[in-house]
């Protein structure tokens, strides 16, 4: 009997341990899978260019910690989650990715302080804060944590050097760039404000633009739907050190089948939050543009066609509330948007609708020629002529992004084309160069710039620096999902050929600079083949006179229209094969 009791006791202990062992095995398998995915990503130079691949790996490591917080691999998962976030930052150069890496390392140092990776985490977090985020006070705190608590760690000597180097910044108030110092100074140091929120809807995409008074740090976050709580998926953007201007409504109703509402508020002092309550989505992109400063959010997905969005309803913030929408991530409105199904197009094949964009306009004159001719004027005149020619020759609908001298933000131009379901987008420009003898024609489509000259043209048309063009290219793959690059390249080649041939019949020395590619803001987000045409060099005295001439404008418009017609016929042939 005594032996039986021992056997029974051992059996009960074994049964108690089995779930723990199973969990340990599951945790080990999950870690092995996540580590293998990370190794595969590191070995593929192409895969590393896609944010979604990095996010998948990072979420894998994060999921291990949340599911198996006491597993022996939990600290390893946090460490590799931080390394993967650092890897993403080297591609994107988004500070939010660097801060994500710091968060992984901080969780490791706090939650697993007895492990042998704690001092590594302190050093890595400190290095990112010091070098990438310029938060010297925060870096000092991480270095000192290692020195105080992990004196025997292999990375502690480096942390000790960091403490000596940054001792002057031990107090966050002594570092004007630290988050604490910015918070304490508040609006007194800056006037960063959200002063306008706009949106455009199209059948499979909605673009939201948040205009701010100056550049600022921002992060984006996605919350998945929670059917049990009746919560839709929500996408929100936090802008640090930012307030909301009084004229910005607390809520705008959209109801276009993708986006229910846009809400804005301040969940805490010096932090503005813009929330998009989503109906559904397949993908989203968040990026910033300058001159003027704005944050652009593109949400794409499948829905019943509802081309015309509901008219925005403006609501004033509740009186006496410091947070305009109380808690900005509270329960979303439950009203269902009205669905309007559009009839299928009566036209099968061919081009139904083309959007012609006259570059620059209003307060943005573009390049200015030797005798004072402005690019915005000649592009508008040529765009109007091109629109008339396309209507006459192709019998399709042609829309202008602007038909007078008004300023139009770059992101609004492709949003117009997307909203009306255009088949082509053609942006008309005049080139410029410091070399006054430069002349000729070139046509661009959206892609990486292949040379410095193409990058310089992109910088000028974007209104940015060459460095900012380089930064944009690091994340360009994320922004070109629907860019129709192959079709755009074919359209650009047809336009370039016809322009050179057509203009050469009437003018001498029409130099062919060929088809080029570059990261042009005005082409970002276009869901149709899109090109930017540099019709001549306005900086060249001879070509400036040509651009001002109605005859030259007619010849150029005729050549582009002929190219579009050829492109359309070729597209029909390809479609019928």
**What does the radius of gyration of the chain's CA atoms come to, in whole angstroms?**
28
Residue 222 has pLDDT above 90, yes or no: no
Whether 301 contacts 280, CB under 8 Å: yes
Residue 518 · residue 429 · CB < 8 Å = no
Do both 166 and 196 map to the same domain?
no
What pLDDT was estimated at residue 528? 87
* 417 alpha carbon, distance to own chain's centre: 19
Q: Rounded to an integer, what distance in angstroms lies between the CA atom of residue 232 and that of residue 278?
A: 6
Residue of 430 and 338 predicted with greater confidence: 430
**What band does 179 get if pLDDT is binned at 50, 70 and 90?**
very low
- State the pLDDT confidence band at 457, using cuts at 50, 70 and 90: low
Alpha-carbon distance of 548 to 526, in angstroms, equals 30
Examine the domain organization and report whether 309 and 367 are in the same domain: no
Q: Are residues 250 and 395 located together in one domain of the fold?
A: no
Same domain flag for 307 and 429: no
Domain assignment present for 334: no
Strand order from edge to edge, sheet including 271-278: 218-223, 234-240, 271-278, 259-268, 251-253, 314-315
User: pLDDT tens digit string along 317-345?
Assistant: 333 333 333 333 333 333 333 333 333 33
Q: Does residue 13 lie in a domain region?
A: no
Is 213 found in the same domain as 168? no
The three-state DSSP-derived secondary structure of 51-114 is: HHHHHHHHHHHHHHHHHCCCCCCHHHHHHHHHHHHHHHHHHHCCHHHHHHHHHHHHHHHHHCCC
Which of residues 285, 315, 345 is at a domain's end?
315
Give the pLDDT of residue 440.
95
Q: Evaluate whether residue 2 is within a structural domain.
A: no
Q: What is the CATH number of the domain that holds 99?
A: 1.25.40.10
What is the domain range of residue 58?
Answer: 30-178
Picking from 315, 338, 361, the residue at the C-terminal end of a domain is: 315
Q: Are residues 423 and 548 in the same domain?
A: yes
Residues linked to residue 220 through DSSP beta bridges, in sequence order: 237
Q: Tens digit of pLDDT for each residue in 121-145?
A: 999 999 998 888 878 878 888 999 9
Co-location of 174 and 217 in the same domain: no
Which of 178, 207, 241 terminates a domain? The answer is 178
User: How many angstroms separate the first and last alpha carbons of the chain?
Assistant: 86
Same domain, 447 and 545: yes
- Residue 38: the pLDDT is 92
Count of structural domains, the chain = 3
Q: Is residue 387 part of a domain?
A: yes
Confidence (pLDDT) at 565: 94
Which CATH number fits the domain that encloses residue 231?
A: 2.60.40.3500
> At residue 3, does pLDDT exceed 70?
no
* Residues 90, 51 contacting (CB under 8 angstroms): no
Q: Give domain status of residue 184, yes or no.
A: no
Band (pLDDT 50/70/90 cuts) for residue 460 is low
Q: Are 276 and 148 part of one and the same domain?
A: no
- Does residue 542 sit in helix, strand or coil? helix
Contact predicate 513/441, CB 8 Å: yes
Structural domain contains residue 365: yes
pLDDT tens digits, one per residue of 352-383: 999 999 999 998 899 999 999 999 999 999 99
CATH number at residue 397: 3.40.630.40
Residues 508, 368 share a domain: yes
Torsion of CA 69, 71, 73, 78, to 10 degrees: 10
Q: Lowest-pLDDT range, 172-176, 194-198, 399-403, 512-516? A: 172-176
Establish if 528 belongs to a structural domain. yes
The DSSP result for 8-30, as a single string, is HHHHHHHHHHHHHHHHHHHHHHH
Question: What is the C-alpha separation between 509 and 500, in angstroms, rounded?
Answer: 10
Mean pLDDT of 57-71: 90
529, pLDDT greater than 50: yes
Return the higher-pLDDT residue of 346 and 393: 393
Quick check: is 174 in a domain?
yes
Do 158 and 199 reside in the same domain of the chain? Answer: no
Q: Is 229 exposed, middle or buried (0-12, 13-18, 19+ CB in 10 A)?
A: exposed
Mark whether 517 and 414 lie in a shared domain: yes
């Amino acid at each position: 009997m005594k032996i039986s009791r021992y056997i029974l006791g051992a059996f009960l202990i074994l049964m108690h341990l089995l779930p723990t062992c199973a969990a340990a095995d599951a945790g080990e398998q999950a870690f092995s899978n996540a580590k293998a995915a990370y190794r595969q990503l590191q070995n593929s130079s192409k895969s590393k260019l896609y944010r979604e691949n990095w996010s998948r790996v990072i979420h894998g490591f994060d999921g291990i910690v949340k599911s198996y917080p006491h597993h022996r691999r939990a600290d390893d998962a946090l460490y590799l989650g931080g390394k993967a976030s650092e890897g993403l930052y080297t591609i994107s150069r988004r500070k939010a990715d660097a801060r994500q890496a710091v968060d992984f390392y901080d969780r490791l140092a706090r939650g697993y302080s007895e492990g042998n990776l704690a001092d590594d985490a302190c050093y890595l977090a400190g290095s990112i804060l010091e070098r990438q985020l310029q938060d010297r006070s925060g870096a000092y705190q991480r270095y000192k944590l290692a020195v105080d608590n992990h004196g025997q760690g292999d990375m502690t000597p480096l942390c000790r050097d960091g403490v000596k180097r940054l001792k002057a910044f031990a107090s966050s108030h002594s570092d004007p760039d630290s988050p604490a110092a910015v918070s304490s100074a508040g609006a007194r140091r800056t006037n960063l404000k959200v002063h306008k929120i706009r949106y455009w809807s199209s059948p499979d995409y909605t673009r939201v633009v948040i205009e701010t008074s100056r550049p600022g740090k921002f992060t984006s976050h996605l919350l998945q739907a929670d059917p049990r709580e009746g919560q839709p998926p929500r996408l929100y953007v936090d802008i640090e050190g930012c307030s909301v201007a009084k004229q910005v409504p607390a809520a705008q109703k959209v109801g276009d089948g993708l986006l229910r509402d846009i809400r804005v508020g301040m969940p805490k002092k010096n932090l503005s939050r813009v929330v998009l309550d989503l109906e559904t989505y397949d993908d989203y992109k968040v990026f910033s543009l300058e001159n003027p400063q704005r944050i652009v959010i593109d949400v794409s997905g499948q829905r019943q066609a509802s081309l015309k969005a509901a008219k925005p309803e403006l609501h004033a913030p509740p009186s006496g509330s410091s947070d305009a929408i109380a808690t900005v991530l509270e329960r979303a409105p439950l009203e269902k948007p009205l669905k309007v199904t559009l009839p299928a197009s009566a036209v099968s094949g061919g081009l139904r609708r083309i959007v012609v964009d006259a570059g620059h306009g209003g307060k943005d004159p573009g390049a200015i020629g030797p005798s004072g001719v402005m690019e915005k004027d000649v592009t508008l005149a040529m765009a109007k002529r091109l629109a008339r020619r396309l209507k006459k020759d192709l019998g399709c609908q042609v829309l202008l992004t602007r038909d007078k001298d008004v300023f139009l933000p770059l992101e609004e131009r492709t949003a117009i084309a997307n909203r009306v379901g255009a088949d082509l987008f053609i942006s008309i420009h005049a080139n410029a160069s410091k070399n006054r003898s430069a002349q000729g024609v070139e046509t661009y489509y959206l892609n990486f710039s292949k040379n410095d000259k193409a990058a310089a043209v992109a910088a000028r048309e974007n209104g940015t620096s060459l460095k900012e063009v380089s930064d944009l290219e690091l994340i360009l793959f994320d922004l070109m999902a629907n860019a129709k690059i192959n079709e755009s390249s074919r359209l650009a080649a047809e336009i370039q050929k016809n322009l050179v041939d057509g203009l050469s019949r009437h003018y001498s020395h029409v130099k062919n600079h060929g088809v080029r590619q570059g990261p042009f803001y005005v082409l970002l987000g276009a869901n149709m083949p899109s090109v930017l045409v540099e019709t001549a060099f306005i900086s060249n005295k001879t070509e400036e006179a040509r651009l001002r001439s109605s005859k030259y404008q007619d010849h150029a418009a005729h050549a582009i229209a002929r190219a579009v017609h050829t492109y359309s016929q070729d597209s029909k042939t390809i479609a019928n094969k």
